[in-house]
Amino acid sequence: MNGYQDISQGKSVGDLGREAFWFILHTAVALLFLLLVIVVMTMNHPDPDSLNPKLLATALSFLVPMIGGFIVARRQQNDIAGYVWISGVVVFAVVCVWVLDLPTGNGLCENCGAVEKLWRTFFDIEHGSGLMAGDGLIAGTWIPLSMIGYAIGARFGLNND
């Protein structure tokens, strides 16, 4: 088989491999921006039961990667950075399936339906579902939000002259 065989839209296997590499790299960079937010928030020792630090971290998990994506795309001019939102959607879908598969028992979400289970795990900060040991906000909200924010910032950062 020819290693330089054209695939869809006239791209070679090497071109597709480079795009996949950049896609994975930009996804990792988006996660690094989220990690930066989490480290800075943790260094401030917020109250784990307080609402304000969680809301601030949620906003920063979108804004910091968005600004970072803007800067990276402005400097690099790589169109692939704008597609990192796909990783966020995939992560969100995988975590949703995981949460729906978790058993409910005596506790906060004993009689929850599927939608309520997902809502309380990912979006209800005050009355969570108690599933995922309380890490639903990180895994199901902040990670996808950081990737979506990175992609939006990257789209703004690309020169489309």
Interval 128-158: pLDDT, tens: 787 887 788 899 999 999 999 999 999 999 9
Confidence of residue 42 (pLDDT cuts 50, 70, 90): very high
What length does the chain have?
A: 161
C-alpha count within 13 angstroms, C-beta hemisphere, residue 102:
23
Q: Where are the domains of the chain?
A: 11-157
Give the pLDDT confidence of 86-139 residue by residue, as tens digits. 999 999 999 999 999 888 766 677 788 889 889 988 988 887 787 887 788 899
- In this prediction the pTM is 0.87
